[in-house]
């Protein structure tokens, strides 16, 4: 059964939450899971979110606790989703724990690298003739740098690139 929960954000929002315990393959013991919808039934819902928590105490993991906890950390998910899009990783998904860890490390290293170059002025000195005030602007300068470097490499290594394409059964002509 779904429980109706009303939360105060910028404006009042009502969600319906079902909390249950289940065994997840490759994890020990049962886990607390939740389904959060923006309508009272799946047929009417336009947003459905699924959550799993490592908090094991069933009396702690209530519908209101799920909503409150998610609302408090929503900015983390929003940032991660936006950063994946900025870095061109939006379409990638990972399924196992090791791949997820590698994905996080790669994404946050790339983000930190670009942010560091933005803050130290490295990207602007070499790749922009205007201030780079946002991460998106810095990312565009970084992409420009990578495009330039790849184009330069390609003009000097056409035979290597053509051989690579041929190994894939394609013709670079």
CB-hemisphere CA count at 13 Å for 110?
18
Domain count, the chain: 2
Residues 101 and 162 grouped into a single domain: yes
* pLDDT at position 48: 92
pLDDT digits (tens, 9 = 90+) for 123-165: 888 899 999 988 889 989 998 999 999 999 999 999 999 999 9
Residues 63 and 121 grouped into a single domain: no
* pLDDT at position 76: 64
Residue carrying structure tokens 């670079």: 172
Q: What is the average pLDDT across 56-73? A: 84
Residues 68 and 101 grouped into a single domain: no
* pLDDT at position 157: 93
Asked whether residue 86 is assigned to any structural domain, the reply reads no
Is residue 33 scored above 80 in pLDDT? yes
Residues 10 and 48 grouped into a single domain: yes
Residues 101 and 163 grouped into a single domain: yes
Residues 110 and 145 grouped into a single domain: yes
Asked whether residue 87 is assigned to any structural domain, the reply reads no
Residues 65 and 118 grouped into a single domain: no
In sequence order, which ranges of the chain are alpha helices (DSSP H)? Answer: 63-86, 97-120, 122-127, 135-156, 158-167
* pLDDT at position 93: 66
Asked whether residue 173 is assigned to any structural domain, the reply reads no
Asked whether residue 17 is assigned to any structural domain, the reply reads yes
Residues 102 and 43 grouped into a single domain: no
Query: How many residues comprise the chain?
Result: 173
Asked whether residue 20 is assigned to any structural domain, the reply reads yes
Asked whether residue 90 is assigned to any structural domain, the reply reads no
Residues 67 and 19 grouped into a single domain: yes
Asked whether residue 107 is assigned to any structural domain, the reply reads yes
Residue 35 is part of which domain span? 3-72
Asked whether residue 41 is assigned to any structural domain, the reply reads yes
Residues 60 and 118 grouped into a single domain: no
Nearest to 21 by CA among 64, 48, 65, 51: 51
pLDDT digits (tens, 9 = 90+) for 103-117: 788 888 888 888 898
């Amino acid at each position: 059964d779904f429980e109706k929960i009303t939360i105060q954000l910028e404006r009042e929002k009502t969600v319906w939450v079902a909390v249950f315990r289940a065994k997840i393959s490759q994890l020990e013991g049962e886990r607390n899971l939740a389904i959060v919808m923006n309508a009272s039934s799946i047929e009417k819902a336009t947003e459905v979110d699924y959550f799993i928590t490592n908090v094991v105490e069933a009396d702690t993991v209530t519908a209101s606790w799920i909503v409150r906890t998610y609302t408090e950390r929503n900015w983390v998910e929003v940032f991660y989703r936006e950063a994946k899009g900025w870095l061109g990783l939006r379409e990638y998904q990972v399924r196992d724990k090791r791949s997820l860890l590698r994905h996080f490390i790669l994404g946050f290293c790339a983000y930190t690298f670009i942010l560091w170059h933005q803050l130290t002025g490295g990207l602007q000195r070499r790749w922009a003739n205007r201030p780079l005030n946002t991460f998106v602007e810095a990312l565009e300068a970084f992409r420009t740098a990578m495009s330039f470097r790849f184009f330069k490499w390609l003009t000097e290594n056409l035979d290597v690139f053509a051989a690579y394409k041929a190994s894939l059964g394609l013709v670079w002509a």
